[in-house]
Amino acid sequence: MDIQQNRGYFDVTQHQADSLAFSKTFLSNVFSWMFLGLLSTAGTAYIFAGSQSLMALLVSETGMTMLGWIVMLAPLGFVLLMSFGFNKLSSVSMIILFMVYAVLMGMSLSFIFMAYSLGSIASTFAITAGMFGAMALLGYSTKTDLTKFGSIMIMALVGIIIASFVNLLLLKSGMFDYVISLLGVLIFTGLTAYDVQKLKRIGSGMEDGTESTRKLTIMGALTLYLDFINLFLFLLRFLGNRR
């Protein structure tokens, strides 16, 4: 009886060790794809911003071109397609969509080089990376369940999206925009920790090499990519030096 109990104990312990090991592998893959997406976005934005001929494809003397509007709106469609088509899409399709999405975001974000100095963009990016890394580490290492906290952050995110539209269409208040930006920084800082903990939990229950795992890796990368990009953009409103 004692031998059977000990064997059961070691089996459970081994299973926990395997789950923890794969959780680390899963998160490592998620971060690798996220960084690749960010690199693609940053490179595309820099290339477009440095080329008048490429920028002319997006904006003309009279305003945004048709391609410019497509570039601005298409990323949202890609996120919805990846989210709602998760069960039908293959992992290869998810990878292609994610990388195309990252390039489109780079084209869209090329406009920030026209509004802010290169130095302030670089310094804000570095600060964002530091904040993101600190919160990701917190989310990975904390023993506190952040589920309720994450739910509050998501509801707050919906609130600032609605508030942003109200301010854009009706109020047009600079002070209100400042408050929204501050809340955006706080929300995406919190969401980073929550999402990393959630992905760690998901990874511990996945199996290596399956199609579902590969697709969840890309969706996890997309989630953290969005946390990083939004945190960067909200911080840029505070720290960026306008041209």
pLDDT tens column, 102-114: 999 999 999 998 8
Find how far residue 52's CA is from the centre of its chain: 29
Highest mean pLDDT among 31-40, 47-56, 73-82: 31-40
Tell me the mean pLDDT in the region 39-48: 95
pLDDT over 50 (residue 6): yes
Q: Which two tokens stand for residue 76?
A: 């949202």
Burial 45-57 (b: 16+ CB within 10 A, else e): bbebbeeeeebee
For position 207, what pLDDT does the model report? 77
Q: What percent of the chain has pLDDT over 90?
A: 70
Q: Helix crossing, 2-49 with 211-239: angle to 10°? A: 50
Residue 182 backbone dihedrals phi, psi, to 5 degrees? -65, -45
Residue 138, number of CB atoms within 10 A of its CB: 18
Q: Are 160 and 154 in contact (CB under 8 A)?
A: no
Confidence of residue 217 (pLDDT cuts 50, 70, 90): very high
> Sign of torsion, CA 232 233 239 240?
positive
Type of residue numbered 128: T
Q: Which residues pair with 242 in a beta bridge?
A: 116
- Enter the pTM of the model: 0.90
pLDDT over 90 (residue 37): yes
pLDDT over 60 (residue 146): yes
pLDDT over 80 (residue 19): no
Structural element, H or E, at residue 224: helix 211-239
Confidence of residue 42 (pLDDT cuts 50, 70, 90): very high
pLDDT over 70 (residue 96): yes
The predicted-structure confidence for 61-91, as pLDDT tens digits, reads as follows: 888 899 999 999 999 899 999 999 999 999 9
CA gap 7, 5 in Å, rounded:
5
Q: Are 122 and 235 in contact (CB under 8 A)?
A: no
Confidence of residue 195 (pLDDT cuts 50, 70, 90): very high
The answer for residues whose C-beta is within 8 angstroms of residue 147's C-beta and 6 or more apart is 194, 198
The structural domains of the chain, with segments of one domain joined by +, span 2-239
Tell me the mean pLDDT in the region 14-34: 78
CA gap 27, 18 in Å, rounded:
14
> Among residues 206, 152, 224, which one has the least CA distance to residue 183?
152
pLDDT over 70 (residue 123): yes
pLDDT over 90 (residue 225): yes
C-alpha distance from residue 36 to each of 63, 88, 130, 222 (Å): 32, 24, 18, 11
Tell me the mean pLDDT in the region 28-49: 96
Residue 240 backbone dihedrals phi, psi, to 5 degrees? -75, 140
Report helix, strand or coil for 50: coil
Q: Which two tokens stand for residue 64?
A: 């945004």
Q: Which two tokens stand for residue 207?
A: 């199996």
The answer for residues whose C-beta is within 8 angstroms of residue 230's C-beta and 6 or more apart is 184, 188
State the chain's mean pLDDT as an integer.
Answer: 89
For position 104, what pLDDT does the model report? 96
